Structure 1
Amino acid sequence: MPYVNGYPERNFAVFARDAQDTLTPNATQRTTLIVAACYIVAIAILWHLPYVSVIIYPFKLLTVGFHEMSHAFAGVLTCAHIHSVELDPDEGGATRMSGGIPWITLPAGYLGSSLIGAALIVCGFDTNASKIASLALAAFFLFTLWWARKSWVTWLLIFLMSGLIVLFWFVAGGVALRYFVLFIGVMSDMYVLWDVVDDTISRKVNGSDASAFAEICGCCPSQVWGVLWLIVAFGFFAASIIIGIVAFKQSAEQQKEDASHFLPVPGSSAAVQILPTTLSTTLLCFAATSAVLLRRW
C-alpha cells in the first residue's frame, strides 16, 4: 500500500473527499448564497442612490447601533463607565464613556459589528438558528435602550425592527425570518466595508475611530489601521460563509420540520400550549424593562 507522509494514501483520499463534500453547498445552501449575493448587489446600489436609499435607511441606523454597542460592550469589559449611546438621524453615532482601555474599545466598533454581522450570516443558513439570533437581537435591543433611552430615534428604530422580526416569524414557518437575519448580517458587514473606506482610505476623517487609534498608537497612520480592520472584517465574512455551509446541511424541508417543533410559529398546532405562557412572559419582561427605563429617564 502506498504511503504519504507515513500514512496510507487512501486516508488522504477519504479525507479530501469528505472535506469536498462538507464544503460543497447543497441546493438550499446555494439558494442562501444566491440571496446573500443579491443582498450585496442591492445594498451596494441603494447605499449611494439619493432618495431611493431611504429604503435601507433604518438598517443603516441598526448597523450603526451594532457599531456603537460594540464600543459599549468593550468598555464594560475593560471597566469603563458608559455614559450614553447615541444614534442620530444623520446615520451617525457616539458612545460616551470614561475609563476603559482605548486599545480595546476603539477598534471594537468595526471589529465587533463585523463579528455580529458574520454571526448573523451564519444563522441565516438555518431557520432555528435564525430564531435564536432574533432572541439575541432582542437582548441587544434591550441593552441599546438602556444606554440610549433618551434618544427617540433609538426607540423608533427598535420598535420597527422588533415588529419586522415578529412579522417575519409568522411567514412560511420562519423562512422569512431566516432571510431577514441574513440580510441584517450582510448589511452589517457591508457597513463596515464602506464606513472604513470612507473614513480612513478614500478620505481621512480626523474624528474616526482609526484616527483616534492612530494617535494613541503613534506608529502608523489611520489608513493602515483601516486596511487592517478591513482584512479582519473580510476574514469574518469568509469564515461565516464557510461555517454556514459546514454547520447547516439540512434541506429546506428538514429545516421546516425542525422549525415546527422549536419555538414554533404562534398559532400553529405545536405552539398552542406554549404560546400563552411565552407571550405573557415576554410582555411582562418588556413591560418591566420599559418601566425601569422610563423611571431612569
Structure 2
Amino acid sequence: MAPTPHLPTPSTGRLKRAAALGAASATLAARSLTVTDTQKVTLGVIAAYVVIIAILWNVPYVRWSLWPFKMLVIAFHEFGHALAAVLTGGKVKSISLDPNEGGVTHMLGGKAGITLPAGYLGSSLIGALLTFCGFDIVASKVASIVLGVCFLLTLWWARRDWLTIVTVLLAVGLIIACWFIAHAAALRFVVLFIGVMSSLYSVWDICDDLILRKVNSSDASVFAKRYGGSSQCWGVVWSIISLLFMAAGIVAGIAAFPQSWSDQENDSKKFIPTR
C-alpha cells in the first residue's frame, strides 16, 4: 500500500502565509525608512531652505526678497478660509491681499469653528502637501496642476483686487516656466520651496502675531472669544499642528518617492512631456 503524502494542515498553511506577509511587510517598512542618496539631497535642500528663509526673514532690506512668496502664502491662508466657508455652507464675497503682508476674506455663513483656523492650518496643510510632492518630479507636476486650479478659484474670488491678481499671475508664470527646464526638474525645487515657505510662514506668523506681539485682532482671538481659551493658547496649538503637518509631509515623501534622479526624469518625460 502506497504511503499517503503529507499535506500541510490548513492552520500550517495560514501560518506560513502570515509569516510570508509579515516578512514582506518588514522588508517594505525597512525599505520605506531607508533614505536614498536622492532623498538625502532633497532633505539637504529643505534644511538649506529653512536656514535661508530664516536669515532673509530677519535681515533688514534683503527680507524684501521674500515678499512675493510671503504674499503667495498669504493667498494660501485666505484660500483656506474661503474653501472652508464654501465646504461648510457659506459664501465667499471676496479675497484681498494687503501690501503690508496682510489679507482678508469676506464671507457669509459657514461654520466659524472650521473657517477661523482654516487660514493658518489650511496654508500649513498646503505647505506639507507641496513639500511631500517636492520629493518627486511627476508629483510636483501634479501639485502644480492642483495649484493652478486653486489659483483660478482665488482669482475668481479676488477679481477686484489687483495685488492678489498680480501675485497669483506671477506664481503661475513661474510654475509654467519651470515645466520647460530640464523636463520640469526645476519645478520640483520651486514646489519644495513654496511648500517649506508655506509651512514655516504659518508657524512664524502664528508665533509673531499671537505669542510674541499678542495681536488681538486675529483669527485666534476671535476663535478664543467664541470657543474659550486664549489666542496665545490657540496659537501654540495651531503652531504644533502646523509643524506636525510639515514633518508628516517629509516622512511621507521619503516613504513614497525612493526613485533616483534618472528614474524621476524618465518618468517625467512620460507624464505631460514638455520637450
TM-score, normalised relative to structure 2: 0.90
What is the rounded CA distance, in whole Å, between the counterparts of 1:73 and 1:189 in structure 2? 18
Instruction: Give the 5 Å matches for 1:1-297.
Output: 15-16=25-26, 18-218=28-228, 220-265=229-274, 268=275
The amino acid that maps onto 1:256 is E
Q: What root-mean-square deviation, in Å, do the aligned CA atoms of Structure 1 and Structure 2 show?
A: 1.8
What is the rounded CA distance, in whole Å, between the counterparts of 2:146 and 2:244 in structure 1? 23
Q: Residue 20 of structure 1: CA displacement?
A: 2.8
**Identical-residue share of aligned pairs (%):** 53
1:295 aligned partner:
none
1:290 aligned partner:
none
TM-score, normalised relative to structure 1: 0.84
String of CA shifts for 1:178-234, please: whole Å, max 9, x gaps: 00000000000011110000111112111111111000012x111111111111111
Which secondary structure state, in structure 2, belongs to the residue aligned with residue 206 of structure 1?
coil
Larger Rg: 2
2:11 aligned partner:
none
The amino acid that maps onto 1:252 is W
Q: How many residues align?
A: 260
What is the rounded CA distance, in whole Å, between the counterparts of 2:165 and 2:201 in structure 1? 21
Q: Residue 11 of structure 1: CA displacement?
A: 8.1
Q: Residue 167 of structure 1: CA displacement?
A: 1.3
Segments of structure 1 that go 5 or more residues without pairing to the other structure are: 1-5, 269-297
Segments of structure 2 that go 5 or more residues without pairing to the other structure are: 1-14
String of CA shifts for 1:161-192, please: whole Å, max 9, x gaps: 11111111111111100000000000000111
Q: Residue 249 of structure 1: CA displacement?
A: 1.1
String of CA shifts for 1:243-276, please: whole Å, max 9, x gaps: 10111111110010010111111xx2xxxxxxxx
> Which moved further from structure 2: 96-105 or 9-18?
9-18
Q: Residue 15 of structure 1: CA displacement?
A: 4.9
Which secondary structure state, in structure 1, belongs to the residue aligned with residue 270 of structure 2?
coil
What is the rounded CA distance, in whole Å, between the counterparts of 1:58 and 1:118 in structure 2? 20
What is the rounded CA distance, in whole Å, between the counterparts of 2:56 and 2:203 in structure 1? 15
> Which moved further from structure 2: 161-170 or 59-68?
161-170
Q: Residue 18 of structure 1: CA displacement?
A: 3.8
What is the rounded CA distance, in whole Å, between the counterparts of 1:14 and 1:128 in structure 2? 27
The amino acid that maps onto 1:187 is M
What is the rounded CA distance, in whole Å, between the counterparts of 1:177 and 1:107 in structure 2? 30
1:287 aligned partner:
none
Q: Residue 235 of structure 1: CA displacement?
A: 1.1
The amino acid that maps onto 2:192 is L
